[in-house]
Amino acid sequence: MSKTKLTVKKDGPIIIEGDFEVYDHEGNLFGLGGRNVLGICRCGLSKNKPFCDGAHKDQFESCCQAINLPEKK
């Protein structure tokens, strides 16, 4: 299985790249139209949730730095 990469963009979405599927809260599969890269909304402003539509531009600030989580118990 190849790895899927998620990148948390500064003041923007989470970019997901690779081989993945996206499901809603009821377990229904989103049709991704063959995409293997897309943005997941973090700001809550997108009209296309859970996908980013760029609505965050100049309206959302969030910068996440990489950290090390504690070991899983």
Mean pLDDT of 4-22: 96
Q: How far apart are CA 36 and CA 20, in angstroms?
A: 7
CB atoms within 10 A of CB 63: 8
pLDDT-based confidence at residue 1 (cuts at 50, 70, 90)? low
Q: How far apart are CA 63 and CA 57, in angstroms?
A: 14
Give the pLDDT confidence of 23-59 residue by residue, as tens digits. 999 999 999 999 999 999 999 999 999 999 999 999 9
Sheet containing strand 37-40, strands side by side: 5-8, 14-17, 37-40
SS3 52: coil
Q: Which of 48, 56, 64, 59 is nearest to 12 (CA)?
A: 56
Domain coordinates of the chain in residue numbers?
A: 1-65
Q: What is the CATH number of domain 1-65?
A: 3.40.5
Give me the pLDDT at residue 2, please: 76
